[in-house]
Amino acid sequence: MQTQLQRLWNDGNERWQFFRQWLRHPISTAAISPSGVRLVRAMVAEIPPEAQRVIELGAGTGVMTRAILERDIAPQDLLVFELNPELARYLEDVFPQVRIRCADARDLAAEAAASGFAEGGLADAVISSLGLLSMPRSLQKDILAASFQCLNPGGRFIQFTYGPTCPVPRDILDELGLHAVRGQTVLRNVPPATVFVFSRSRSRAIVPRSIR
| Domain region containing 196 | 34-200
For 87-113, write each residue's pLDDT tens digit. Answer: 999 999 999 999 999 999 999 999 999
pLDDT over 90 for what percent of the chain? 75
Q: What is the pLDDT of residue 164?
A: 83
3-state secondary structure the chain: CCCHHHHHHHHHHHHHHHHHHHHHCCCCCCCCCCCCHHHHHHHHCCCCCCCCCEEEECCCCCHHHHHHHHCCCCHHHEEEECCCHHHHHHHHHHCCCCEEECCCHHHHHHHHHHHCHHHHCCEEEEEECCCHHHCCHHHHHHHHHHHHHCEEEEEEEEEEECCCCCCCCHHHHHHHCEEEEEEEEECCCCCCEEEEEEEECCCCCCCCCCCC
The count of domains in the chain is: 1
Q: Which residue has the higher pLDDT, 25 or 193?
A: 193
Q: Is residue 48 included in any domain, yes or no?
A: yes
Q: Is residue 11 included in any domain, yes or no?
A: no
Q: Is residue 178 included in any domain, yes or no?
A: yes
CATH of the domain at 50: 3.40.50.150
Q: Is residue 28 included in any domain, yes or no?
A: no
- Which range in 4-13, 85-94, 184-193, 195-204 is most confidently predicted, on average pLDDT? 85-94
Whether 5 has a pLDDT exceeding 50, the answer reads no
Q: Is residue 29 included in any domain, yes or no?
A: no
Q: Which residue has the higher pLDDT, 211 or 85?
A: 85
Q: Is residue 148 included in any domain, yes or no?
A: yes
Whether 144 has a pLDDT exceeding 60, the answer reads yes
Q: Is residue 45 included in any domain, yes or no?
A: yes
Whether 1 has a pLDDT exceeding 50, the answer reads no
Q: Is residue 4 included in any domain, yes or no?
A: no
